[in-house]
Structure 1
Amino acid sequence: MWLYEKWLARANTGVVISLFGLMLTVLMAYPLATRFPMAIQILAHIGTLLFAVGVKIAYVARLAFLSKLGRPVN
Structure 2
Amino acid sequence: MMEQYEKWLAVANNSILASIGGLLLTVLVAYPLANAFSLGVQILAHIGTLFFAVGVKVSYVARLTFLSKLGRPVH
TM-score using structure 1 length:
1.00
Look up the match of 2:11. 10
Residue identity (%): 69
Deviations 1:3-57 (A, max 9, x none): 0000000000000000000000000000000000000000000000000000000
Q: For 1:12, what is the secondary structure of its paired residue?
A: helix
Q: Distance in 2 between matches of 1:31 and 1:73?
A: 36
Structure 1 unaligned regions, length at least 5:
none
Q: Does the alignment pair 1:32 with 2:33? A: yes
Q: For 1:31, what is the secondary structure of its paired residue?
A: coil
Runs of 4+ in 1 over 3 A off after TM superposition: none
Count the aligned residue pairs.
Answer: 74
Structure 2 unaligned regions, length at least 5:
none
Report the RMSD for the aligned CA atoms in angstroms.
0.2
TM-score using structure 2 length:
0.98
